[in-house]
Amino acid sequence: MTAKLPHYTTLQKFSARRDLLAVTEAMIAQMGQAALRRAGPETEVAANATLKMANASAHFTSRVGRVRRKWKMVSVLLVCGLLMPLGMVVAVCPGSDKTQTEELPHKGFTTADEAGVMPAKLFADAGCDADWIDGVCREDWGVQGWIKPATCRSDGSLGGCYRPGLTEQRLKKAGYGRRWNVETFFSGLKRVTGSTFSARKAANLTKEEHLRG
């Protein structure tokens, strides 16, 4: 057998490339687009964000009495059923899920050379609730955005153009329960690669999460 194992510094040397983020984002987008084409025209995608702590685990931090200060917010857009990520955004906390939700389609619905395959529906939780996000999904991308609205008014009403139509009954009929695919992905990602980072510098934290993704 002539095949050789990669050198143990392969990933470290790859992470030192200046274009690392562009390369990893292109890889994620191309594999996700392949999953979309395989799933067919009625494909559904889900978006969500999770927090990951830098350097030390929550258990260690609580045992030594320290205050958790460094966090990274990781947002993912993935193909439901296949659990294949389409796009990933990593940002320093604190931040808003809405900002990253707007950025995710640009990473997932297009490739380096052409527009990609469009899914039929996009599911997201109330953290991404904003009428303008629904408008971007439906008007700019041609994707039905099914985002659970957050009730903020005292009378329980919902403002905006699209939000009043996102009732619990309509969400259920549209298959909103499929949104849990993204929670399953995050659970697997943390169990396989860990819920904390090894890097310390902000730029390296972002690189590390893209490599894990």
| Cβ atoms of 148 and 127 closer than 8 Å | no
In a domain, 1, yes or no: no
- How many angstroms separate the CA atoms of 156 and 6, rounded? 58
In a domain, 8, yes or no: no
In a domain, 160, yes or no: yes
One digit per residue, the tens of pLDDT, for the chain of length 213 reads: 567 788 888 777 877 777 888 888 888 888 888 888 888 778 899 998 887 655 555 565 666 666 656 667 888 899 998 888 988 888 766 667 787 888 888 888 875 556 678 889 999 988 888 889 888 888 888 899 999 988 777 776 788 888 888 888 999 999 999 999 999 988 888 888 777 777 777 777 777 777 877
Look up residue 5 and give its amino acid: L
In a domain, 37, yes or no: yes
The residue segments making up the domain with residue 38 are 19-212
| Cβ atoms of 96 and 76 closer than 8 Å | no
User: By C-alpha distance, which of 71, 3, 82 is closest to 46?
Assistant: 82
| Cβ atoms of 137 and 122 closer than 8 Å | yes
With vertex at residue 201, the alpha carbon angle to CA 199 and CA 204, rounded to the nearest 5 degrees, is: 60
In a domain, 105, yes or no: yes
- How many angstroms separate the CA atoms of 88 and 133, rounded? 17
Domain count, the chain: 1
The answer to pTM > 0.75 is yes
In a domain, 171, yes or no: yes
Token pair belonging to 14: 């790859």
In a domain, 6, yes or no: no
In a domain, 48, yes or no: yes
